[in-house]
């Protein structure tokens, strides 16, 4: 998957979440916290964890 494809997919799926929806993921250390001054999409595109997850999920 190219950076452009990944950015497009992340853009399409980006939304706000309520903390209560994230609690189960946080409890298993599966939440990535991004500093407010960073661009969330750019972090997602550059993150090895996100690329690995996308490769595994198809």
Q: Which of the two residues, 5 and 24, has the higher pLDDT score?
A: 24
* Confidence band for 52, pLDDT divided at 50, 70 and 90: low
CA distances from 37 to 7, 23, 25 (A): 18, 23, 23
Structure tokens that stand for 55 in this block: 């490769």
> DSSP assignment of 10-58, as one string?
HHHH-----HHHHHHHHHTT------TTS-HHHHHHH-HHHHHHHHHH-
Span 16-40, mean pLDDT? 92
Percent of the chain with pLDDT over 70: 84
User: Which domain, by its residues, includes 45?
Assistant: 3-57
The number of folded domains in the chain is 1
The whole-model pTM stands at: 0.63
pLDDT at 32 over 80: yes
């Amino acid at each position: 998957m190219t950076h452009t494809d990944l950015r497009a997919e992340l853009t399409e799926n980006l939304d706000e979440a309520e903390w209560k929806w994230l609690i189960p993921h946080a409890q298993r250390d599966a939440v990535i916290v991004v500093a407010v001054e960073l661009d969330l999409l750019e972090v997602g595109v550059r993150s090895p964890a996100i690329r690995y997850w996308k490769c595994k999920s198809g």
